[in-house]
Amino acid sequence: MFEILEEKIVNTRKEHKCYLTGEVIQKGRTAIFIRGIQDGDFYTLYILPEAEIFKDLHKKELINTEGFLEEFCIRDNMKEEWESFKKKEESE
């Protein structure tokens, strides 16, 4: 099981990939930073804030059969819905 050790909002110092969408998070952009451990291995994840909102709205559809969110789960499972959500967010 993935145990979160630290979670915070950061301004990125370099490009990263969003764990949920696979999209590039540009240098200087706000992101959610998560540091965690699973099976003795340490992991660092970055998530776009809007992807976090989308995940919270669609958690049931995104969680796999083992109860986890897989890498790029939004891109792989709900791409059309994600694109529609982003357009709506940008227009507001």
User: What's the CA gap between 20 and 54, in Å, rounded?
Assistant: 10
User: What's the CA gap between 55 and 40, in Å, rounded?
Assistant: 26
User: What's the CA gap between 41 and 30, in Å, rounded?
Assistant: 26
- Domain with residue 46: its CATH number is 3.30.1740
Phi (first) and psi of residue 33, to 5 degrees: -105, 130
pLDDT number for residue 31: 98
* Tens digit of pLDDT at every position of the chain (92 positions): 789 999 999 999 999 999 999 999 999 999 999 999 989 999 999 999 999 999 999 999 999 888 888 999 999 999 999 999 999 988 87
For the whole model, what pTM was predicted? 0.89
Q: Domain range for residue 68?
A: 3-91
Q: Look at the chain and report how many structural domains it folds into.
A: 1
Q: Nearest-CA neighbor of 20 among 8, 66, 56, 40?
A: 56
